[in-house]
Structure 1
C-alpha cells in the first residue's frame, strides 16, 4: 500500500511547521475541543481523510504484510512523550505509514482463523455517536437513557435464551432491584462475573457468618465444613476460568478438567465421578461449566444432563456460550442449544457471532436477583436502591457499548442473524466437503457448527492416514509439518488459518495432533475464498 510520507523522525511524530509554539499552546489545544463552525468544517475534512485510509485498508486483498516482527517492533521503541502537540494530519500520516498497513485485516474474507470478522457498516457510524455521547454506564447520572437502553438490550437476549413468559420481562426489564444481565468488556470478564456470583451465593451469609465476600474464602469453607472449593468442566474449558480461579481464591489446582469424547463433548460418567470425588474430599463444587462452542472445535456439551447433575450436587450451572450462543437465532440449528435454558448463568460474546466490535460481552442470569450477591455501593457513585448499573458490575467506569448491541438487535433482527448463522455453518460444511475431496488433507473433528479442524498429510503418509493406521511417530512428524506450514502461511500474509493441538482424535487420547483451525463467520467469505486458502496451503506445502 503506498502512503504519503509522514513527518517522522526516528519513527516519532515531528510537529514541524504545524507544531504549536509555546505561546500559542492554549489556542492550539482549545481547537481540539471546540465546536465552532470552523472546527466542524475541519473535523469533516479529517473524517474524510480517515475514511480514505479505512477504505484503502479494507480493499487490500491480503490479510497483512510480511514485515518482520522485530523490524516492526523497532518502529515503536521511543518512550518520550512529545513536547509539542502535532498536527492531526501529520499524525494520521504516521498511522497510515506505520500502523494501519501492518495491522491484521480481520475483515478479509481470507482471514478465517480466529473469532473476529467483518463488521456491519452501521457499527462504524454508531461507534462515532457512542464516542461523542461519551456516556459512563457505571451511574445513571452519567448515562441516563443509555442505562435503560442497556437493560432493554439485555432483556431481549435473555428472552431469546430463557424464553420466560411476557409477564416476567414486564416485571424485571426496568426494575431497579432486578438484574437480567451485565454488559462486560468481553467473555473473560463475563465468566469471571458468573463464577463470582456462584461463589458468593453458595458461601453466603449464614448463622452469624457474614459470607465469603466479607470474611474470605478460608473462613467461608471452614464455616460450611468444607476443605476446599472446585469448579468442574471439560478439558476444553476456556482459559478464562483459570483466571477466575486465581482471582477468586479457588486456585488453579481446583479447576477440575473432565475428559471429552471424540466429538469433544464432556464425558458424562467422568463428570459424575468428578462431582462424587469432590464430595468425598469435602470440597464444595462452586460451579459446573458447560460449553456451547468450544474454542478449538466448536463442540457443544450435553447441557440437559449437565444441568441435572449440577442441580443434584447443589452447584451453580454456568454455560459458556461465548461463541455458540447466537445459534439461538437459527430455526435450523437452535436445537443444538438444548438445555441452555437450564443455566443459572451464561456468557455470550458480542464481538464474536453478534457481529459487534471488540470490547463487548455479557453474562445473563436465570434468577434476576442472583447478582445482588456481588452488589457494592459508594456514596459518590453507586448508591443503594439506585438505577446505577455499576452496583452489580465488576467494572466501574465503562463505555456505552450496549448502544451497539441494541442497534444490531434492531438493524439485523432475528431473521438477519439467522441468515448469518445458517450461512456460516453451510460454508463450513462446504469447506469440510472440499477437504474430504482432497487426499492431501484430513478432517480431524466433524464440525458441530462453524469451526473446522483439519491437517495436511504429506504424501508418504496419506495411505496410512486414510486407513487410520498412523503411528504415534508418524503423527509427530506430521505435527511438525503442519506447525511449519501454518507459520509460513501466517508470515506470508496472503491468507490465514490458526493452529491448535487436539488431544482427543480418532488416534486416541494419548496422541497430541496439531490441527489447522478454520473459523467461518465472516459474511464476506465465499466458497472461492475458502478454495483460495486451501490452494495457498497446497502451494506452501509443495515448497516445504
Structure 2
C-alpha cells in the first residue's frame, strides 16, 4: 500500500499518462511540445516517478500488519529464557540453529519496520541494502588500511565528499584537490554518532592545545600538564541542555568529567539563550578555562528542535572556539529545498556529525563526522609501524576505531540509488506526517500537544478528563503533575508490552510549572506509515487507558 500522503501524486501521474495515451501520435507530440517550455508537466512526472521508485524500495505492500513483537510477555520473564552459560560441546547444523532462532528469539524481536512502530529513530530500510550488506560480508574488507580495502577506501572518501559538499558547498576545485589527497580528510566514517562526536571533540581539543599538526605533546604529557603550559586552569564544553548524552561520554573519555559541561538555558521563545551563552564564555575566559568546543544541536533526539546555528557560529568565530554541530538526526533535512533553511548556519560549523542509520536509512552501525578544514584530522593522527603510517591512504590513523567494515558501501549506494530528490521526498514526507499528527493531537481533548514539531518528532501526553480543565487554567498541583507522569508512563509501558503500536517516552522540562514531565515521543520517518496508522496509535492508547482503569477497578 503506497503511503496515503502521496496518493494524490500517483493519481495525477496516472491521469496524465492516460491522457497522453489517448491522443494520436501527432497530438501527443504537440502536447509534449506545449509542456516543454514551462516544464511543468515534465517536472511533475519526474517527481512522481522518483517517489514511486523510492517507495518501492521500501516495499510497503509487503509490510505485515499486526503486532510488531510477541505480546504479553514481560521483559523479566523473557530474560529468564536466555540463561545458558555452557558452550555446546558438539556443533549443531545450521538448520537446527535457525530453527532454534525462529522459535526462541525472533518472535520476541522488534519489527522496527512496522508502520505503527513510531517511537524510535530506527525504521524500515530500502530493500537493496540487504543484498548490499550481504556483499559487504562476503568481501570482508577492512578499511583501517589501504592494503585490506583498496578501491573501497576511495569509494568511502568519495561518499564523504558528497555529504561534505551538501553541508559546506565549497568550489569544484576544492573537492577535486582534497577528495583523494593524502593527509587531507573531509571526514571520517564511524560506527555511531557517539564515536563521531567524540572524534570531533578530540580534534577540537588537540587543535586548540597543540602547537602544530602531528604533535606528540598529548601523547607524552598529561592533558593537565599541557593545559597548565598553555596558561589554562581547566577545560570545558559549552552547549544547550538538549545536548545528546553522548557528550557526557565524550567529556568522561576526554578527561573533562561531566561537571565541566556548561549548559546554557533556553530563552522565553524556547531557543538557546545566546546572551547567556556569551556571558558564560566571558566567565570562562576570566577564569582561564579552555573552551574545547561550543556544541550546537541540529535536531535533538527528544524533540527535534534546532539550535540557532547561524548565531552560534558567529559567537564561535568571535571568541575563536571550535564549533561542533551534532546533526545526527537533523542534517539530512538539507536534502529538502523546502526545509533546508532550518539548518541555516550549519556551514559555519568546524565539524558536523551525521548518523547514517537514522535519516539516511542505512543499517545500524554507520555515522559520519565531517570536518570543514581537510587538515584538522591531522591533529588527532596516530601511527603504527605496520599500518596507519604517515603519508599513506590508511584511514586508521584518524579514526578511534581500528578495524572497520566497508559499511560505507551502503552509504555510497544509497546516495546514488535514492539520490537527492529521493531523500528530499522522504524528509518532506516525515515532516508532513508530523504536522498532520500534531494537528490531530491538538484537536483531541484527551491529549496535550507539548511542542509544535520543528522536524518530524512529535511530543504529547494523555490528560485524564478530571484534569483537563485545571490544565487549561494552568492550575495543576505538584501531586497532579506527578499523577500525570505516572499515567503516561503506564500507558507507554503497556503499549510496548502489547506490541500492536508503539511510541517511546522522554522527560522534558515544563517552564509553566518548573517541573519535569513525562511525555510521549513519536519519530515519523517510516515511509510506510500512513494517516490511518497514526490514528490507530492514538486509538490504541485510549483503549489502553480504558484497560488500565478497568484493571484498577
Considering the TM-score relative to the shorter chain, is it more than 0.5? Answer: yes
Q: How does 1:205-354 map to 2 (within 5 A)?
A: 205=211, 210-261=216-267, 264-354=270-360
Instruction: Tell me by how many angstroms 1:264 deviates.
Output: 4.4
TM-score (norm 1): 0.87
C-alpha distance after superposition, 1:112-140 (max 9, x if no partner)? 11001000000101000011000000011
Structure 2: gaps of 5 or more residues: 1-58
- The aligned residue for residue 528 of structure 2 is 524
TM superposition shift of 1:297: 0.3
Q: What residue number does 1:438 align with? A: 444
Equivalences for residues 126-525 of structure 1 within 5 A? 126-205=132-211, 210-261=216-267, 264-505=270-511, 507-508=512-513, 510-525=514-529
User: Higher mean Cα deviation, 132-141 or 274-283?
Assistant: 274-283
Per the alignment, residue 64 of structure 2 pairs with 59
Superposition CA RMSD, Å: 1.8
CA–CA distance in structure 1, aligned partners of residues 314 and 104 of structure 2: 54
Q: How far 1:487 moved relative to its partner?
A: 1.0
- Tell me: CA distance 1:414–1:263, structure 2 relative to 1, closer, same or farther (3 Å): farther
Cα distance change, pair 189–386 in 1 and its aligned pair in 2 (3 A): same
Say if 2:60 and 2:528, in contact at 8 Å, map to a contact too. no
Structure 2 SS opposite 1:528:
helix
Q: 1:517 to 1:446 in 2, by over 3 A?
A: same
C-alpha distance in 1, partners of 2:263/2:485?
24
Distance in 1, matches of 2:272 and 2:246, equals 18
Of residues 535, 538, 544, the one that matches 2:542 is 538
CA 1:504–1:232: 2 relative to 1, 3 Å: farther
SS in 1 for 2:108: coil
CA distance in 1, matches of 2:446, 2:139: 54
Gaps of 5+ in 1: 1-53
- Kept in 1, the 8 Å contact 2:186–2:373? The answer is yes
Checking the alignment, whether the CA contact within 8 Å between 1:264 and 1:297 is kept in structure 2 is no
1:495-536 per-residue CA deviation (whole Å, 9 max, x = no partner) reads: 11011111144x24x211111111100111110000000000
The count of corresponding residues between Structure 1 and Structure 2 is 488
**2:501–2:537 contact (8 Å) kept in structure 1:** yes
Over 6 Å off, 4+ runs:
54-57
Q: Secondary structure at the match of 1:503?
A: strand
- What SS class does the counterpart of residue 291 from structure 2 fall into? strand
So what's the TM-score if we normalise by structure 2?
A: 0.86
Say if 2:310 and 2:346, in contact at 8 Å, map to a contact too.
yes
Q: Structure 1 residue 217: deviation in Å?
A: 1.0
Take 2:139 and 2:92, find their aligned partners in 1: how far apart are those partners?
26
How many angstroms apart in 1 are the aligned matches of 2:277 and 2:92? 60
Task: Note closer, same or farther for the CA distance 1:57–1:185 as it changes in structure 2 (3 Å cut).
Answer: farther
Query: Aligned equivalents of 1:95 and 1:57: distance in 2?
Result: 22
The answer to whether the Cα contact below 8 Å between 2:495 and 2:501 also exists between their aligned partners in 1 is yes
Residues 455 and 287 (structure 1 numbering): CA distance in 2 closer, same or farther, change over 3 Å? same
User: Aligned partners of 2:202, 2:320: CA distance in 1, in Å?
Assistant: 16
How far is the alpha carbon of 1:62 from its aligned partner? Answer: 1.1
The residue aligned with 2:17 is none
Deviation at 1:94, TM superposition (A): 0.7
Deviation at 1:75, TM superposition (A): 1.7
